[in-house]
Amino acid sequence: MGVYTTIDPATGDETAEYPEISDAELNDLIGRSAAAYRSWRTTPLEQRRAVLTRAAEIQREQSDELAKLLTLEMGKPIAQAKGEVELVASIYQYYADHMEEYMADEPLSITGSGTAVVRTEPIGPLVGVMPWNFPYYQVARFAAPNIALGNTIILKHARNCPQSALAIERVLDEAGLPAGVYLNAFISSAQVADAVADPRVQGVSLTGSEKAGSAVGEVAGRNRKKCVLELGGSDPFIVLDDADVDAAAAVAVVGRLSNGGQACTASKRFIVQDSVYDEFVRKFLDGMARWEAGDPTSPETKLGPLASTAGVEELDELVHEALSRGAEILLGGNRPEGAGAYYPATVLTGVTPQMRAFSEELFGPVAVVYRVGSLDEAIDLANNSPFGLSSSVFTSDADKANRVAEELETGMVWINSTSKSSPDLPFGGVKGSGVGRELAKYGFNEFANKKLVRNPQGRQVKEG
């Protein structure tokens, strides 16, 4: 059997280990989830609301303790870890506040006699497969709306954050969530496939790599199960010739380096019009150089280690493959000696389609900058990617901003800002970035049965 292991990425020290559960234990887990669904789906909304409200309160009450686990397990700087804890609290509270609105019957205006309404109902036990880069947030944006809706959750977390995974289950238990509604599962990839195929399970949500998404999506499709897949991105950050360059450069640094650059929606490809290119690059390099990697437990640290040495090695390989093919390094690029999964803030230019860094996701503090001559060229380059998650455009011209927003092939567009998560904003992408949406009402409805109830003899529903 495999294990789930906590390895401090700042030191390389192993601090905890948990074994995978057996197939028999997984079967029991699915049975418990199915049994809990039968009662949870009919639990009054006020009770569900109370659980999520209390979960939000516990997140805030235990912020220090919960944040320290993020720092320990994936190297997130402590100040950013506390920010993630608060974001999760806001998600729990958002669905507590909106579940009644989102579950209200929707009367339809129909041509025939009688009435027709669409009801929003749960569908059953769901499997979640979640990554390590935002151990609490990624889970909350899947679990919170589905707990509110009345579904039950079996959650397989990443192997390197088992203590964070257990903390999520503990918080929900302390909040009063009935046994079996949310279950942590230390299982293998093969067991994930078995769980998704199980007839008691009705859907699966995965955030992770393209390879993992393809594997889970294939199992879901073969077994006719609903799936939501969030598979990463290589987000363009476009700076047009009329942009506020000071503001754009400052935001670009945060957009690239927050969470160590280990975010699907991190700004990764900086596409800058020729007339402001030199100024932007100069200010961008100055800002990037100020984010020196340090101890993630210090409140002053903004750039900690990557989550693992494997992540460092993969990132370094992409950088040096680009350099070997003619790319130029403007900053960083030298992997430091010594313990810890550290990598410096790095900026590349001269990256071409022949290099892996052009089309693959750089999951770490590495930026690629491009010079373009026109707005059309900027849009074309931005869309020349297998991904389509989020994007940013900096301009002082509202018409240009709207045109870019219309033509970008992404699920999200931010104007004069980098991507930010909020419970009331839908999250998701197109192309290789996956299918489906999370958060807001859109995430609430992904695993809902939109049931039509038609009564031809009932009172006529009229428009207005």
At 458, is the pLDDT very low, low, confident or very high (cuts 50, 70, 90)? Answer: confident
DSSP assignment letter at 303: B
Residue 461 has pLDDT above 60, yes or no: no
Query: 256, 288 in Cβ contact below 8 A?
Result: yes
Nearest Cα to Cα of residue 174 among 64, 42, 62, 54: 54
Query: How many Å apart are CA 300 and CA 310, to the nearest integer?
Result: 26
Query: How many Å apart are CA 455 and CA 452, to the nearest integer?
Result: 10
DSSP β-ladder status, 346-349 and 366-372: parallel
Residue 464: what pLDDT? 40
Max distance between CA atoms of the chain, in angstroms, equals: 77
Query: How many Å apart are CA 219 and CA 366, to the nearest integer?
Result: 34
DSSP β-ladder status, 203-207 and 366-372: unpaired
Average pLDDT over residues 180-197: 98
Query: How many Å apart are CA 123 and CA 227, to the nearest integer?
Result: 13
Query: How many Å apart are CA 284 and CA 246, to the nearest integer?
Result: 9
Query: How many Å apart are CA 362 and CA 160, to the nearest integer?
Result: 20
- In three-state secondary structure terms, 73 is helix
The sign one gets for the Cα dihedral 46, 52, 55, 60 is negative
For the stretch 360-399, pLDDT in tens is: 999 999 999 999 999 999 999 999 999 999 999 999 999 9
Residue 463: what pLDDT? 44
Residue 2: what pLDDT? 94
For the stretch 62-101, pLDDT in tens is: 999 999 999 999 999 999 999 999 999 999 999 999 999 9
DSSP secondary structure string for all residues of 78-111: HHHHHHHHHHHHHHHHHHHHHHHHHHS-EE---S
Where do the CATH 3.40.605.10 domains begin and end in the chain?
Answer: 3-231+433-453
Residue 338 has pLDDT above 90, yes or no: no
- Domain 3-231+433-453 matching CATH 1.10.3720.10: the answer reads no
Average pLDDT over residues 144-169: 98
Structure-block tokens of residue 37: 């669904």
Query: 315, 343 in Cβ contact below 8 A?
Result: yes
Q: In 10 A of CB 49, how many CB atoms?
A: 18
* Active centre residues (catalytic): 230, 264
For the stretch 399-456, pLDDT in tens is: 999 999 999 999 999 999 999 999 999 999 999 999 999 999 999 999 999 999 999 9
At 459, is the pLDDT very low, low, confident or very high (cuts 50, 70, 90)? Answer: low
- In three-state secondary structure terms, 117 is strand
The sign one gets for the Cα dihedral 207, 212, 213, 215 is negative
What's the pTM value of the predicted model, to 2 decimals?
0.96
**Domain 235-415, CATH class in plain words:** alpha beta
